[in-house]
Structure 1
Amino acid sequence: MDAILYVIALVITGIIAGFASGMIGVGGCFIMVPVQYWLLVSEGLPSTLAIRVAFGTGIAVTLPTVMSSAFGHHRRGAVDWQAAVPMGIAGACGAVTGGTIATLLPGQTLKTFFAVLVILMGVRMVWDVKECVACPPRQSLLVFLFLGFCIGNITGLAGVGGGVVLIPILVILLHYPVHTAVGTSSACLIFSSAGAVATYLWHGLGVSGLPPFSIGYIDLLQWAILAGTTIPLSVLGVRYAHQCPTCILRYVFAGVMFVVGVLMLVTG
């Protein structure tokens, strides 16, 4: 593939992923991972290596994004650190577990798991979550640890943040206000994303056939382009979040998730 087209594809992907992250609070891995995978395969990388690099690089892009998001929510008092810290620590452990498993599984298995998860995320996107205003948040250390470990496993195994799963659980089952759930989820994902990044970096060291400028399963070239567009666009997305009909955006991105998931299932 021509180098200019390669860069343009990543820039457009970063714009979409960043805007989605800022507008509706979802991570952009649902679009970053497939595009990275297809680009790497088009360059001749074996599918198993391509999907692992896509996972590792995608979650590495997510890390600074959730850090920025969590800091913004913290400034507004919308992070419950008593929940975020234990969930995050357990999430980091889960991410190491999931990431280690991902480095052992065949590429086709990982691709199928990711595709199914993205389709389910699309279904979740059109599911309107209602918060219980009269109910106080439930606090349980064991529940926090269990949730964190499960979300961390998803992060490590599929290269996605997991906030789209964690937020409705915090709102529906633990009665958190939506804004606090989003902020707490972002803070938790700092830990699990960091654990996943470290795992993909470590297990990829010494692996032959990786793209140039890679550290482990993290492609620094792709990371620089995606992070350089995703982070500023997420800030712009937040700015315009209240100026567009959120329900329409949710349906649009849900449709994109469904199409991406199906394409990942049917393509090589």
Structure 2
Amino acid sequence: MDVLMLVCLLALGAVAGFAAGLLGIGGGMLLVPFLTMLFTWHGMPLELVVHSAIATSMTSILFTSLSSVRAHQRKGTIQWKIVLAMAPGIILGGLLSGGAAFAFISTAWLSTFFALFVGYSGFSMLRNTKPKPSRQMPGIVGTSAVGVVIGFLSGLVGAGGGFLSVPFMVWCNVALHAAVSTSAALGFPIALANTIGYIASGLTMDIDYPHMLGYIYWPALLALVATSVLMAPVGAKMAYRLPVSTLKRVFSGLLFVLAAYMLFKAVQAFGL
């Protein structure tokens, strides 16, 4: 890895860590498109680029989420009942995604899937539709079932689940700041389950590229983690200083930009 690549990864980790703390998105929504650019520039095979970007992004969330959770916990806004109810489903969904489905989806379709889901999530937040006052989080079974979906889909796009869990919790009348902090806590079980899956499925594919652990490019992982864990608490502090409307606009605007880039990568991969 050359010096310029290292500097880019350190800077990217800092920005992603800040975004993880601020928006509860685990940083994955930001990391995957930029890692796709950097890995392509670094000469990684095209058929491996998106898979490795997603796996490396998700694994970094293991560390970023812990740093972010510490900062949110000091504010007392994490809804641990929701975390405990959703975690079993999240782990199951993550193992199914990272350990099974992930390896068999092509770069083109993976990029398309990423773009559509991220774009939809941005649109959902921007609509600012008021939920029914009577709507609440479902029971343990329902919440765990939602966790399976979030864990599975998060594994396919390399994100901590905030792009789904934050809009879902807000839809269920959980306050936005509480939804963001709770999403940060959910990032750890999502990342853990999918990381195990990425390593296991990648080892079965006999990937011919140096410094890979399954689908994870570990030199990039180390550089990302070095700065993301430092900046996640800074972002978490800012989350309590910005008004809800500003957080929603930042969240949705970021998702639209990243969705557009990954859709462009999908078009390239399809050869259109």
Normalising by the smaller structure, the TM-score range is 0.7 to 0.9
1:114 aligns with 114
Runs of 4+ residues deviating >6 angstroms: none
Look up the SS of the partner of 1:44 in the other structure. coil
In 2, are the aligned partners of 1:88 and 1:189 still within 8 Å (CA)? no
Say yes or no: does 1:148 pair with 2:147: yes
* Deviation for aligned residue 1:104: 0.8
2:215 to 214, 217, 220: 217
Say yes or no: does 1:20 pair with 2:16: no
Look up the SS of the partner of 2:223 in the other structure. helix
Distance 1:252 1:189 in 2: 20
TM-score (normalised: structure 2)? 0.84
1:86 aligns with 85
**Against the structure 1 CA distance between its residues 263 and 40, is the aligned structure 2 distance closer, same or farther, given a 3 Å change threshold?**
same
1:159 aligns with 158
* Deviation for aligned residue 1:161: 1.4
* Deviation for aligned residue 1:137: 4.9
**Against the structure 1 CA distance between its residues 241 and 180, is the aligned structure 2 distance closer, same or farther, given a 3 Å change threshold?**
closer
In 1, are the aligned partners of 2:110 and 2:157 still within 8 Å (CA)? yes
Distance 1:136 1:253 in 2: 23
Task: Output aligned runs, 1:162-173, within 5 Å.
Answer: 162-173=161-172
Look up the SS of the partner of 1:240 in the other structure. helix
Distance 1:260 1:186 in 2: 20
In 2, are the aligned partners of 1:10 and 1:35 still within 8 Å (CA)? no
In 1, are the aligned partners of 2:160 and 2:187 still within 8 Å (CA)? yes
Structure 1: runs of 5 or more not aligned? none
Deviations 1:191-244 (A, max 9, x none): 122100110011112544454322111111111111112121121222334555
**Against the structure 1 CA distance between its residues 11 and 128, is the aligned structure 2 distance closer, same or farther, given a 3 Å change threshold?**
farther
Distance 2:176 2:148 in 1: 21
1:202 aligns with 200
Distance 1:171 1:251 in 2: 15
* Deviation for aligned residue 1:163: 1.6
The amino acid across from 1:214 in the alignment is M
* Deviation for aligned residue 1:166: 1.2
In 2, are the aligned partners of 1:58 and 1:159 still within 8 Å (CA)? yes
Distance 2:143 2:211 in 1: 38
For the aligned residues, what is the CA RMSD?
2.7
In 2, are the aligned partners of 1:91 and 1:189 still within 8 Å (CA)? no
1:46 aligns with 45
Look up the SS of the partner of 1:155 in the other structure. helix
Once structures 1 and 2 are overlaid, which stretch shifts more, 159-168 or 41-50?
A: 41-50
* Deviation for aligned residue 1:68: 2.8
* Deviation for aligned residue 1:171: 3.0
**Against the structure 1 CA distance between its residues 136 and 172, is the aligned structure 2 distance closer, same or farther, given a 3 Å change threshold?**
closer
The amino acid across from 1:165 in the alignment is L
TM-score (normalised: structure 1)? 0.86
Look up the SS of the partner of 2:166 in the other structure. helix
Structure 2: runs of 5 or more not aligned? none
Deviations 1:66-106 (A, max 9, x none): 22333444454433333322311111100111222111111
Look up the SS of the partner of 1:103 in the other structure. helix
In 2, are the aligned partners of 1:204 and 1:217 still within 8 Å (CA)? yes
Equivalent pairs: percent with the same residue? 29
